[in-house]
Amino acid sequence: MTIEIRKVGVIGAGQMGSGIAQVAAASGYQVLLNDISEERINAGLATINGNLSRQVSKGHLADGERTEILSRIVPAASYEDFADSDLVIEAAVENEDTKRKIFQALCPFLKPTAILGTNTSSISVTRLASITDRPEQFIGIHFMNPVPVMQLVELIRGIATAEGTFEATRDFVDKLGKNFTVAEDFPGFIVNRILLPMINEAIYTLYEGVGSVESIDSAMRLGANHPMGPLQLADFIGLDTCLSIMQVLYEGLADSKYRPCPLLVKYVEAGWLGRKTRRGFYDYRGEKPVPTR
């Protein structure tokens, strides 16, 4: 029996969570948005309103539609609010301990039929599922960033994921107007298994002095027709997230080719995490981004 998803919970109101909440509400779902504080939930709602307002100003959306979409997103102060959700998607920071704590605290409040999804970009879905009370109803739903714009969702089945869980999640992704690809539950799945080592290699290229930030990004934009250079993309993703994924690949696959570049580690230790902290491989504090190396 396929479970019908009507009400969706989202845990994490940051870049990814607010994007997931926005596309779900725009597709007609009732959405509950949770984070660790009211301020963070409000910041997520403000981001969604800003995104929708831009669509209105470009003529892609009527103002009445913007209001309607926002009315479908309700703040959820605690996990108890998810009691009647059909699907809850965790979109917290890419840290396994954080995710495990969320699932352990959340499960007691969910109805027995509820599906649990994780937006992890690299961590084992099987391992996360194993600490819940419903591994058969647990699945990886990896959205791409920025969620409202990117067309792909990776669906990752854990070893215990039931066929009904997969089918219900696939139908949900279809209704969002997204394309999906099915990835096996190995570190990094498909997209990040290929993308992050390329970004890491670009950082090694900078670290070893083969090219400057500008020359590396220009080379890949103009020489490989990439829409964004790899260092610019790393700043957009967040250097802490890039490092987390490289560590998952390195530890999970035990191959030296996935060793995080020491320069990436140094930037993260400095707190230069990219656009979100206004400094990474570029400095974003002025009128236009300036390379930091």
Q: What is the pLDDT of residue 279?
A: 98
Q: What percent of the chain has pLDDT over 70?
A: 99
Separation between Cα atoms, residue 263 and residue 133, nearest integer Å: 41
Separation between Cα atoms, residue 71 and residue 119, nearest integer Å: 24
Q: What percent of the chain has pLDDT over 90?
A: 99
Q: Which residues pair with 179 in a beta bridge?
A: 152
Entry pTM: 0.93
Would you say 27 and 139 are in contact if contact means Cβ atoms under 8 Å apart?
A: no
Separation between Cα atoms, residue 290 and residue 269, nearest integer Å: 20
Statement: residue 211 has pLDDT above 80:
yes
CA 79-85-86 angle, 5° bins: 140
Would you say 258 and 250 are in contact if contact means Cβ atoms under 8 Å apart?
A: yes
End-to-end Cα, the chain, rounded Å: 56
Separation between Cα atoms, residue 226 and residue 203, nearest integer Å: 16
Give the class (CATH, top level) of 192-291. Answer: mainly alpha
Reported as a single tens digit per residue, the pLDDT across 268-287 is 999 999 999 999 999 999 99
Reported as a single tens digit per residue, the pLDDT across 40-75 is 999 999 999 999 999 999 999 999 999 999 999 999
Statement: residue 234 has pLDDT above 70:
yes
Reported as a single tens digit per residue, the pLDDT across 100-139 is 999 999 999 999 999 999 999 999 999 999 999 999 999 9
Q: Which residues are catalytic?
A: 121, 142, 154, 192
Separation between Cα atoms, residue 272 and residue 274, nearest integer Å: 6
Q: Which of 62, 56, 68, 1 is nearest to 31 (CA)?
A: 68
Q: What is the pLDDT of residue 3?
A: 80
Would you say 128 and 99 are in contact if contact means Cβ atoms under 8 Å apart?
A: yes
Statement: residue 1 has pLDDT above 60:
no
Structure tokens at 256: 């030296």
DSSP string of 50-97, one letter each residue: HHHHHHHHTTSS-HHHHHHHHHTEEE-SSGGGGTT-SEEEE---S-HH
- What are the residue ranges spanned by the domains of the chain? 7-183, 192-291
Would you say 236 and 109 are in contact if contact means Cβ atoms under 8 Å apart?
A: no
Give the class (CATH, top level) of 7-183. Answer: alpha beta
Statement: residue 2 has pLDDT above 80:
no
